[in-house]
A and B are shown apart, each in its own frame.
Chain A
Amino acid sequence: MTLFAAVFSHYRRHPLQLAALALMILVATTLWSGVRQLTEQARTSLSQSEQVIAGREQVVRVDGAALTVSDFVTLRRAGLCVMPWLEVPRQGDVGLVIGVDPLAAACFGGAGGAFGNSQIRLEGEPFVDISEAARMARELPAAEPPPSLALIAAGEVTADAVPAGYRLADFSRGPDTGELGESFLLNLDALGILVLLITALLLRSVYRLGIVQRRDSFALLHRFGVPPAQIDRWLVVELLVLSALCILPGLWLGSWLAGLLGQGFGRSLEGLFDAPLYAAPGQWLAPAFTMMAVVLVACLADFLVPGAHRLAGSRGKGKLAGGFLVTGLVLALLSPSLVWVFVAVAIVFAGAGLLTPALINRLADRAADASADPLSRWRYRELAVMARQLALPVVALQFTLAMVLAIQALVTTFEDTFDRWLGQRLEAELYVAVPEGRSGEAAARWLTSQPELQTSGVWHRVIRGRGSVSVSGSAPTPVDLFALSPVSSLVTSWDLLDAEDDPWATLTRGEGVLVNEQLARRLELGVGDRIALEVAGQQLNLPISGVYADYGRPAGEILISGALLPEQFRPDFESFSITPGTLTRAELIRGLEAVWQVSGMTVRDNEEIRALATGVFDQTFLLTRAMTVLTLTLAALALLVMGWVFFTGRNWYFRLLATWGLSRREVAAQLTRLSVGLTGSVALLALPLGIWLTWVLVHRINPLAFGWSLPMAVYPGFWVELIGLSLLIGLGIALLMGRQLRAGAALPVSASSLTGGER
């Protein structure tokens, strides 16, 4: 037998351990690389949107019709420098590609910035030649979203130069959302890193267990003349081989996962930040090396940093844990940025990780001392031993449970709040968008003239455009402007986060404005603060009458009375929200079609919009939920494997109980009480950590990442479910061990090896 075979022989006897290691590396790689691929892709998209699109203008048809090649020809013949921009969804894949015409872009010249010939790389990431994009568009199946063509105008194109039938419009996909898009991705990055840390912890625990079991073999090899350094080298080789074998399929699975979640994620990104998900290349090398480094560090930290384990075992552990907890809690409360909040979470988790096994150990020992019944005393002492020996997987399970609890609370709170909020926003039965080039004013006059609507129905008109806000002479901040006319009862039932006595009456009189939470937070505005609002060149100085919750995009919004809009204001978009009462939908449509002189007008049922919006927000959390469920499964499996391995080592002592006259069922009951006691304790200790994490997510991370906060809510029903799940894991360990007991028990390695570790 070669030395290599001797070193590896351990896994021939313990194939489950090898399988557990391989599975953990595989799953950790899949989860982390999948999320990383999505966030990298989204980050690239945000950055490209910012660099290429922001501030640009496009030429659109006044009649609102879709642009065609003939429009392009007409505009170019009129001497306008425009370039076609064709966005095509990638068939069967995530993201968009953008077809551009480098020849057409040539007129953008040096001032064209990113459109300069040399700066556009037509490699599909996301740009391709427009002919290629057109080919892709033709091959799109009907189910895919349709391609969209825009004509981007060069910077020097002015409104006067645009021929009749066309007009200039902003090409930016939405107002500036500050750093929120990046914060959103940072949020996902942090989740990915947390998952990576938890899996690294589990990996380390399983690997260390194997190393402890192999110590005698290594000592024997050493006595046979093999230098310890050579054995260490083989261990590194062993890990590298295992990592390589598991990381590569893990990366492939991660790419598959990203593809699976990508479409929903892309919709979320577009819904939240108006940034579409463009195609981005899948990277292999950097994630592979990162994962390999994580595996090596997790497993070989003791070799790499001698003395690291002594820190964990030092007497000052309690003080260290306390210090971590206090520092982390204070930092989480006071930190000004998202990065520091994540650092605070990491510090608190480190403190909890140090404290938990020690706490279970201490409590179990106390319970043993207080117990008069020798059998109970034995059980408590065994529990204390388990807490110490299974410290790593116990902590990993605690972290995972806390994370699941917090995310579940966040998502459930969000669903409840969002549902209520959406119900208020979509209180009207119907939603009618004013067609491009048609008059909202004329439609409003017609609606006012309908007696059925006045007596039995209710409606309001929303005029949407852009404005800017400045506070105390500060630089103007662009905002989305919503002018209401009239201010109907469809809006006055909105829940406001903060408001003066009768904010809607103030708004109706034009004596105040309402702002959304995002803007209030960003500019640190409150009720009563005065803002300078610039609309179409006119300055309005108004107080804030209320702050409304807005769980949509992080854009700043401002709500004013339609009466305040100056003559020269040109809306980007107008719509009507209508509950028609006794007026039938058909009569309403006929009336509006007559006013606008259009046929086939679309009237949308708000219930449909509600379902659509709920779908987008569900997608936002799909990734988060998928990751937490997978991590929980992994943590449960790891504890199951570790518990099983631990109990195998203590099998003999359970056999002793049988020798002393406990029936098989009684021994199994003792075993069950022990394992369930451990996992139950972990779940109980995960609760405070999970509740704290919920608070951090709701009150610290969410406002920083999305611009809005949620009410803090706890869900004891879900706690019970999680505790139940933990107890099931404990039961699983007991069942596995019960099988082991029936197979017979081996003596401990030797009676003289009754070391302190066994008690």
Chain B
Amino acid sequence: MNQPVLEARDLSKTFASGAERIAVFSGLSVSLAAGQSLALMGRSGSGKSTLLNLFCGLERPDNGVITLLGERFDYREAGAAGQQEKRWARLRRRQIGVMFQEANLMPALSLLDNVRLRARLAEQPLEQCQTWLERLGIGELAERYPDQVSGGQRQRAALAMVFAMNPDLILADEPTGSLDRRTAEEVTAELFRLQAETGVALVLATHDPELAEQCQVTLDLAHGNQAGPAP
């Protein structure tokens, strides 16, 4: 197995609910190598989105260690949050592509400008942006604004943004959750095709078993914390 892109050990996360704290997960460990894909399964509220947020530093676990692309974030130690935040921001900017179920685009920018903005932040060449839109079949919509295209086209543009930054890890939070089945399949197919082409590691949060089947590893947050091979 290659050097893991993402390695998490003994992650725990709780949320406050009034006076008590509710555990989302505890002692969770997972590892993902370059080119691998991991599906996070579970019901709504099982902690899929939270785990994705932990993997890109948007949230902090209560305990555990995350190593991402050789950078180690040890949450067993108190303090150093500010320094960690800067390191996470640097990783998100250049190496982690994050894709949400919806609203991945800036509404005031055209599709092309959205892709260019993401590529610019990742310090990638802007000339490739139009090419990425074309590779995703929406090259002719480049100058349109998000509200002028369909939901599927918006998610393709979001994919173009993620790949235009040439990431090492993609975190996708139910990226097709708001699309009809056929469009969802098309977008998913593009995602896996480009993931295979670029060799990027992928973590996909979904409650769709068929989608999860397409990933190499599945982690079911409802039934345990151990990552296992896909069926």
Q: Which residues of A contact B (CB under 8 A)?
A: 373-375, 377-378, 381-382, 384-385, 652-653, 656, 658-664, 666, 747-748, 750-752, 754-756, 758-759
Contact = CB atoms under 8 A, between A and B. Distances in A.
Q: Of residues A378, A660, A664, A754, which shows the largest number of chain B Cβ atoms within 10 Å of its Cβ?
A: A660
Given A374-B126, A748-B103, 18 more contacts: A374-B117, A374-B119, A377-B113, A377-B117, A378-B108, A378-B117, A381-B108, A385-B108, A656-B104, A659-B56, A659-B98, A660-B92, A661-B93, A662-B93, A663-B85, A751-B154, A758-B107, A758-B108
A562 B162 CA distance: 94
B: contact size bracket: 35 or more
A593 to B, nearest CB: 83
Nearest to B59: A744
Given A661-B89, A754-B146, A759-B147, A384 B178 contact: no
Contacts of B102: 747-748, 750-752
A434 B139 CA distance: 96
A658 B90 CA distance: 10
Contacts of A384: 108
Contacts of B106: 378, 381, 653, 656
Interface centre among A374, A381, A748, A759, by most chain B C-beta atoms within 10 angstroms, is A374
B118 interface: yes
9 contacts: A373-B120, A374-B119, A381-B106, A661-B121, A663-B89, A747-B100, A748-B103, A751-B154, A758-B147
B117 A375 contact: yes
B151 interface: yes
Contacts of B98: 659-660
A664 B170 CA distance: 21
A662 B108 contact: no
B96 to A, nearest CB: 8
Contact of A754 (B89, B107, B122): B107
A381 B109 contact: yes
Most interface-central of A378, A748, A756 (chain B CB within 10 A): A378
A664 B86 CA distance: 9
B60 interface: no
A374 to B, nearest CB: 4
Secondary structure at the A interface, as helix, strand, loop or mixed, is helix
Nearest to A663: B89
B48 interface: no
Contacts of A664: 85, 89
B151 to A, nearest CB: 6
B165 to A, nearest CB: 8
Given A374-B120, A653-B107, A661 B90 contact: yes
A381 B126 CA distance: 19
B156 interface: no
Contacts of B187: none
Contacts of B96: 661
A374 B122 contact: no
B75 interface: no
B13 interface: no
Closest 8 CB pairs of A and B: A661-B93, A751-B102, A381-B108, A374-B117, A661-B92, A758-B107, A759-B108, A374-B116
Given A385-B108, A751-B154, A660 B113 contact: no
Contacts of A758: 107-108, 147
A382 B113 CA distance: 13
A382 B109 CA distance: 9
Contacts of A377: 109, 113, 117
Interface string B132-162: 0000000000000111000100100000000
B107 A751 contact: no
B123 to A, nearest CB: 10
B154 A658 contact: no
Contact of A660 (B86, B93, B101, B146): B93
A665 to B, nearest CB: 9
